[in-house]
Structure 1
Amino acid sequence: MTERIEKLRKFLEASPKDCFLNHALALEYVKAGDEAAARTHFELNMTNDPGYVATYYHLGKLLERTGAQQEAIAIYERGMAAAKAAKDMHSYNELQGAYEDLVY
């Protein structure tokens, strides 16, 4: 797994604002159990491109796992707004489901 992380980090050196690469690296960190590093890369994506909808679901789930329920709720809400703006109803429905599971 560390080999994939290193490859993604090298790719990011050349293209540090690439949301796909940051997202992929964050997911690798999740698999490796490094929630803090994953959160950093998910949050970087939100800074670089708030319209990158995939980030919201995974960051929300990470926040849930680490006990930050209120932060997760806020992320799901922002993600639903971003998905709606992008007319991405599939992502909207996933975010809404995660949100409802947490709130209700």
Structure 2
Amino acid sequence: MDRMEQLRELLNQSPKDSFLRHALALEQEKAGALQTAIRTFEELLADDPAYVGSYYQLGRLLEKIGQPDQAIACYENGLMYARKAGEKRAQNELQSALDELLYD
């Protein structure tokens, strides 16, 4: 059983587990299923908008498929939630990604 299958099996038991959903999206990206990964991240964040680690990953994917405006919005939303949660590392990561997109 590969990692993606294992994650899906675990998600059958805990379908709203944000950590598992994030891991599944990363595996989907690694397998080249970018649109599926984007959809998984979007669904995760719709259910758990405070799961700040997914904003960076989703923003990167949106950049990769040529949607910089959506990536900017994603990074900005992530920054808002990271600030609320006091997650400085996530704030710095998201701000760097946003600055790079806006000013490079």
Q: Same fold per TM (> 0.5)?
A: yes
Identity of aligned residues (%): 49
Output aligned runs, 1:4-83, within 5 Å: 4-83=3-82
* 5+ residue gaps, structure 2: none
Output aligned runs, 1:78-93, within 5 Å: 78-93=77-92
**TM-score by structure 2 length?**
0.96
Q: Deviations 1:44-69 (Å, cap 9, x if unpaired)?
A: 11011100000000000000000000
- Equivalent residue, structure 2, for 1:103: 102
Question: Which letter maps to 2:17?
Answer: D
Q: After TM superposition, what 4+ stretches of structure 1 lie above 6 angstroms from structure 2?
A: none
CA distance in 1: counterparts of 2:63 and 2:17, whole angstroms: 25
Q: Deviations 1:70-89 (Å, cap 9, x if unpaired)?
A: 00000000000010000001
CA distance in 2: counterparts of 1:41 and 1:18, whole angstroms: 12
Question: Which letter maps to 2:43?
Answer: L
Displacement of 1:41 in angstroms is 1.1
**TM-score by structure 1 length?**
0.96
Q: Deviations 1:23-59 (Å, cap 9, x if unpaired)?
A: 0000001111100111111011101110000000000
* 5+ residue gaps, structure 1: none
CA RMSD of aligned residues (A): 0.9
